[in-house]
């Protein structure tokens, strides 16, 4: 956090009191206010000009969301952390191609989504070649869920996990990460129509599995 | 409840499934690792930047030269074929003796 403050001072971000309010939202990707967008734009421009320290602002702002997205796909906390690091490093290395007037979020989310999908693809290939079903490592992903042992969350998680790969990905990005159709399309490279189609199929299956939880209201 | 309403409710409830450990050490460690790798990332030299510009330009010029050479060769080949065809047609249409007379006749 101290580093982020230093970064903001370096960017001429103004008095620390107002910066304190901004920094309290750093890491939660709440950048919808014009002030935050301007800071982000300045951070991006500074990084593009060669100021590596300015990148800290973007890392602090988006890291939690990036890790969450990665975890949702690979379902392993260590892999998710590694992927998050890789995504930020890759984004930094290709910053020259990034337009500073665009929000940084969708771009880093797309990078981490693609990296995570590559890991999943690689895992599937490896599992098909080398492992039988009885030898698969037991799932530990549900144990990593943040203190949310209630039945509802667990059932929703289980229901999403039972979906086919692409429906699972899209459903998780929509339901858990709460991106909209356009954002998911940008992250996955799929068209909005395809996203809606996946969600429609996922919704039908989830309704079958969760009808008892949302029970009497189902009409 | 219709499908949309169901999905909306699931969406409201599913937000708690985000993976966001309350672990400041972990977040600081991740940020530090990124910073370390980013600081270590070599900055491109002027030569590398120029190479980045010139490489595609050189490739285009090379492709153009290959195309030009091929085109020139094709045109030259066509020209030779046309000349040979013309000579053949002249020889075929003329009587050989007449040709000799034409050549040596004035000398007699």
Task: Quick: pLDDT tens for A89-101.
Answer: 999 999 998 988 8
Least confident of A66-70, A71-75, A105-109, A124-128: A124-128
ipTM surpasses 0.85: no
Q: Quick one: pLDDT at residue A57?
A: 95
Q: Is the pLDDT of residue A16 over 50?
A: no
CA–CA min distance B70, chain A (Å): 37
For the CA atoms of A96, A8, A57, A40, the dihedral, rounded to the nearest 10 degrees, stands at -60
> Which of B1, B22, B43 is the closest to A214 by Cβ?
B1
CA–CA min distance B77, chain A (Å): 47
Sequence-ordered alpha helix ranges (H) in A11-103 = 16-24, 34-48, 55-74, 77-93
Q: Quick one: pLDDT at residue A30?
A: 45
Nearest to A29 by CA among A128, A139, A106: A106
Q: Quick one: pLDDT at residue B81?
A: 73
For the CA atoms of A43, A48, A53, A59, the dihedral, rounded to the nearest 10 degrees, stands at 60
What is the rounded CA–CA span in Å between residue B69 and residue B74?
9
For chain A, give the percent of residues with pLDDT over 90: 59
Residue of chain A nearest B19, judged by CA positions: A68
Q: What is the mean pLDDT of residues A163-177?
A: 95
A-B contacts at Cβ under 8 angstroms: 112
| A157/A148: higher pLDDT | A157
Sequence-ordered alpha helix ranges (H) in chain B = 3-14, 24-40, 46-93, 96-104
Residue B37 touches chain A, beta carbons under 8 Å: yes
> Which of A81, A176, A217 is the closest to B18 by Cβ?
A176
Q: Quick one: pLDDT at residue A37?
A: 82
Span between the terminal Cα atoms of chain A, in Å: 49
pLDDT digits (tens, 9 = 90+) for A117-132: 999 988 877 776 665 5
- The DSSP 8-state label assigned to residue A216 in this structure reads G
Q: Quick one: pLDDT at residue B108?
A: 46
> To probe the interface with B, which of A92, A158, A168, A212 has the most B CB atoms within 10 Å?
A92
CB contact (8 A) between residue B3 and residue A207: yes
What is the rounded CA–CA span in Å between residue B4 and residue B16?
20
């Amino acid at each position: 956090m101290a580093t982020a403050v230093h970064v903001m001072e370096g960017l001429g971000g103004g008095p620390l009191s107002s910066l304190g309010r901004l920094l309290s939202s750093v890491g939660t990707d709440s950048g919808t206010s014009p002030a935050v967008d301007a800071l982000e734009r300045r951070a991006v421009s500074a990084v593009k000009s060669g100021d590596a320290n300015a990148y800290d602002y973007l890392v602090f702002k988006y890291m939690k969301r990036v890790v969450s997205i990665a975890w949702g796909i690979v379902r392993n906390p260590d892999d998710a952390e590694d992927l998050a690091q890789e995504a930020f490093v890759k984004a930094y290395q290709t910053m020259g191609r990034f337009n500073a007037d665009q929000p940084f979020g969708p771009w880093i989310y797309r990078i981490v989504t693609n990296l995570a999908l590559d890991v999943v693809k690689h895992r599937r290939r490896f599992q098909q070649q080398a492992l039988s079903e009885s030898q698969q490592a037991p799932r530990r992903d549900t144990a990593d869920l943040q203190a949310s042992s209630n039945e509802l969350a667990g059932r929703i998680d289980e229901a999403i996990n039972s979906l086919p790969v692409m429906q699972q990905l899209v459903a998780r990005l929509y339901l858990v990460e709460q991106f909209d159709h356009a954002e998911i399309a940008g992250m996955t490279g799929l068209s909005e129509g395809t996203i809606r189609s996946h969600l429609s199929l996922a919704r039908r299956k989830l309704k079958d599995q969760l009808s008892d939880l949302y029970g009497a209201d189902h009409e | 409840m219709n499908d949309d309403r169901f999905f909306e409710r699931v969406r409201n409830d599913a937000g708690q499934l985000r993976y966001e450990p309350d672990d400041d050490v972990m977040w600081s460690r991740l940020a530090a690792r990124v910073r370390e790798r980013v600081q270590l990332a070599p900055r491109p030299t002027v030569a590398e930047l120029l190479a980045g510009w010139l490489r595609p330009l050189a490739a285009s010029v090379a492709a153009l030269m290959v195309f030009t050479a091929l085109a020139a060769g094709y045109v030259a080949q066509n020209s030779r074929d046309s000349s040979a065809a013309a000579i053949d047609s002249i020889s075929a249409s003329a009587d050989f003796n007449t040709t000799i007379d034409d050549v040596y006749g004035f000398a007699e």
